[in-house]
Amino acid sequence: MSLDYGQRHRRELTAAALLAERYKVPQQVVEIRGWARGYLTGSALTDSLVPVPKEAYDEASMRTTVVPNRNAVLLNLAAAVASAQGLEWVAYAAHSGDHFIYADCRPLFVSTTQALWCAAELEVRLLAPFLDHSKAEIVVIGCGLGVPFNLTWSCYLGGDRPCGGCGSCIERRKAFEAAGVEDPYCGGP
């Protein structure tokens, strides 16, 4: 399930489609772009007036990429769909490097979301296997699983190719370097 919320990097939806095709699973795109354009303002990811950080993240630049409560919106939509379709799990790839700025990536958020679903009498469970892992550790795990990293997307600018210079591209490069793995990051098959 992918959320089209008017993100500048809509290219990630194409990456998700390529991955879904690779693993022969359906991709559901939930489209709230029209609504989000008018209301999810103030973030570099959704607001054309707020520039994407073009250097290594510091606290102030990382904060411009916060879309308040975005992941709660996405996860609760996913839980509703999973419940309606009789599915047992919703998987969520929040990681430890996001905890500092992104409240909706922290362990408290994950456990509270699970508690909310229980209160709503959903049978759905929230799986967040990378909650205590760094990006570099995730790269190592992904290599072991044969993840086609060339199909994945991280850049916040959303061009045809990764820009290499935004905060997200820089974080990705550092993670692969720390893992000792070459990144086939080219944005396509």
**Does 163 help bind Zn ion (rule: CB under 5 A)?**
yes
**Sequence-distant (≥ 6) Cβ neighbours of residue 58 within 8 angstroms:** none
Residue 45: CB minimum distance to Zn ion, A? 12
Q: Looking at beta carbons only, is 105 or 155 nearer to Zn ion?
A: 155
Among 155, 172, 175, 179, binds Zn ion (CB under 5 A): 155
Binder of Zn ion out of 94, 139, 166, 175 (CB under 5 A): 166
Closer of 44 and 94 to Zn ion (Cβ): 44
Q: Among candidates 84, 64, 79, which has minimal Cα distance to 118?
A: 79
Taking the least distance from each CB to Zn ion, the nearer of 20 and 163 is 163
Q: Does 169 bind Zn ion (CB under 5 A)?
A: yes
Contact (Cβ atoms closer than 8 angstroms) between residue 156 and residue 9 = yes
Please, which residue, 128 or 155, has the CB nearer to Zn ion? Answer: 155
User: Strand 29-31 relative to strand 89-91: parallel, antiparallel, unpaired?
Assistant: unpaired
Decide: is 170 part of the binding site for Zn ion (CB under 5 A).
no
Q: Are 48 and 36 in contact (CB under 8 A)?
A: no
79 in Cβ contact with 67 (< 8 Å): no
Cα separation, 23 vs 2, whole angstroms = 15
28-36, 79-87, 100-108, 148-156 -> range binding Zn ion (CB under 5 A): 148-156
| Contact residues: Zn ion, CB under 5 A | 155, 157, 163, 166, 169
